């Protein structure tokens, strides 16, 4: 059963969907599932939520603040600290539900949320088990690809803030081009094939973000203090061919002995968004992981 829900995060109302096993068997373990950067809850987050609910979990997806159907202006703002707060708010919401065992709540982040969920869990000990799929530290993703271009974006953020204060609309940056060719980097072609075609396109997934987000993102690091998650477990799932695999390796190295990296052979970053075989393997691993650490799920 899927129910539209609303809950508050730092004064902003977030739009969510609650996936509940049918029939309900009393208070169940629950998992918060976060969407990719520039995506919405109806895309990969919904796919994983459905699969986990089939295995006995309550699952909650939501549009991050400033994105999708959730509140927040300018729309498209990518504030990593707010994104982490959204995960905490989602856990708080779940803890109020009669069908949820508040002592057995886990989190799953996909792509950019695979950075925000572990970051939130560093200090929110209600998150008993933390997992990611194609996890990425968003500022590192942009910075590593074009250091000079990223530095320029950070430098111009103050000017853009001033323009907004003067009444101009927020400047948006397209994360995925409308057209690609053989000269387009492979990962960008992967994103295009998902977000810009019927495969994964969604009308509320604009694939744009507010350019002045750069100065806030530049202060943030998803995995630098991942060791704070311990002794709770961390699972990072990534494709062996994913451009973001080094992000998962870094997170696991920083988190220590309670962290695990599971690589899916032959898979790229975007394959784990929706491709049947890699998703099947990812869900099987997630089922084993959450089953072990959120005891009681079937």
Q: What is the pLDDT of residues 45-101, one digit of tens each?
A: 999 999 999 999 999 999 999 999 999 999 999 999 999 999 999 999 999 999 999
pLDDT tens per residue across span 5-52? 999 999 999 999 999 997 666 789 999 999 999 999 999 999 999 999
Q: Is the pLDDT of residue 296 over 60?
A: no
Closest CA to 30 of 85, 125, 108, 121: 108
Token duo for residue 59: 């699952």
Position 22 scores a pLDDT of 79
Identify the DSSP state of 229. G
3-state secondary structure 194-228: HHCCCCCCCCCCCCEEECCHHHHHCCCCCCCCHHH
Q: Quick one: average pLDDT of 106-124?
A: 98
Question: Across-strand partners of 32?
Answer: 60, 107
212 pLDDT above the threshold of 90: yes
Give the Cβ contact number of residue 122 at 10 Å.
21
Task: Identify the pLDDT of residue 24.
Answer: 63
The average confidence (pLDDT) of the chain is 95
Kindly tell me if the per-residue pLDDT of 233 is higher than 90.
yes
Side-chain half-sphere of 144: how many Cα atoms within 13 Å? 10
- Across residues 102-125, what is the average pLDDT? 98
- With cut-offs at 50, 70 and 90, classify the pLDDT of residue 298: very low
Sheet holding 28-34, edge to edge: 2-9, 12-19, 58-62, 28-34, 100-110, 127-133, 234-239, 259-264
Please say whether the beta carbons of 126 and 102 come within 8 A.
yes
How is residue 35 annotated by DSSP?
P
Q: Are strands 28-34 and 100-110 parallel, antiparallel or unpaired?
A: parallel
Q: What span, in angstroms and rounded, lies between the C-alpha atoms of 238 and 166? A: 43
The partner residues of 50 in beta bridges, in order of sequence, read none
Of the listed ranges 174-183, 218-227, 242-251, 259-268, the least confidently predicted one is 174-183
Does residue 148 surpass a pLDDT of 70?
A: yes
- What pLDDT score was predicted for residue 295? 77
Is the pLDDT higher at 39 or at 145? 39
pLDDT above 90 as % of the chain: 92
Mean of the pLDDT values across residues 240-269?
A: 97
Identify the pLDDT of residue 297. 40
145 pLDDT band, cuts 50/70/90, is confident
DSSP 37: T
């Amino acid at each position: 059963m899927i129910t539209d829900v609303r809950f508050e995060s730092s004064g902003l109302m977030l739009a969510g969907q609650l996936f509940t096993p049918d029939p309900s068997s009393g208070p169940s373990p629950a998992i918060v599932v976060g969407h990719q950067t520039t995506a919405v809850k109806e895309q990969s987050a919904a796919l994983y939520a459905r699969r986990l609910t089939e295995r006995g979990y309550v699952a909650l997806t939501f549009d991050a603040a400033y994105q999708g159907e959730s509140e927040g202006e300018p729309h498209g703002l990518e504030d990593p600290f707010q994104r982490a707060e959204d995960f905490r708010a989602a856990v708080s919401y779940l803890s109020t539900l009669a069908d949820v065992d508040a002592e057995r709540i886990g989190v799953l982040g996909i792509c950019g949320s695979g950075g925000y969920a572990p970051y939130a869990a560093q200090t929110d000990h209600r998150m008993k088990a933390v997992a990611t799929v194609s996890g990425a530290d968003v500022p590192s993703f942009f910075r590593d690809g074009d250091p000079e271009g990223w530095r320029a974006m950070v430098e111009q953020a103050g000017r853009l803030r001033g323009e907004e204060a003067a009444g101009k609309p927020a400047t948006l940056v397209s994360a995925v081009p409308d057209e690609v060719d053989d000269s387009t980097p492979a990962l960008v072609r992967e994103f295009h094939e998902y977000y810009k075609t019927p495969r994964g396109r969604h009308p509320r997934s604009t694939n744009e973000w507010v350019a002045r987000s750069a100065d806030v993102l530049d202060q943030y690091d998803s995995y630098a203090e991942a060791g704070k998650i311990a002794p709770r477990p961390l699972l990072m799932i990534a494709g062996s061919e994913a451009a973001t695999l080094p992000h998962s390796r870094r997170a696991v190295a920083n988190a220590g002995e309670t962290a695990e990296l599971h690589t899916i052979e032959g898979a790229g970053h975007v394959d784990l968004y929706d491709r049947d075989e890699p998703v099947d393997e990812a869900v099987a691993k997630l089922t084993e992981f959450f089953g072990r650490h959120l005891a009681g799920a079937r």
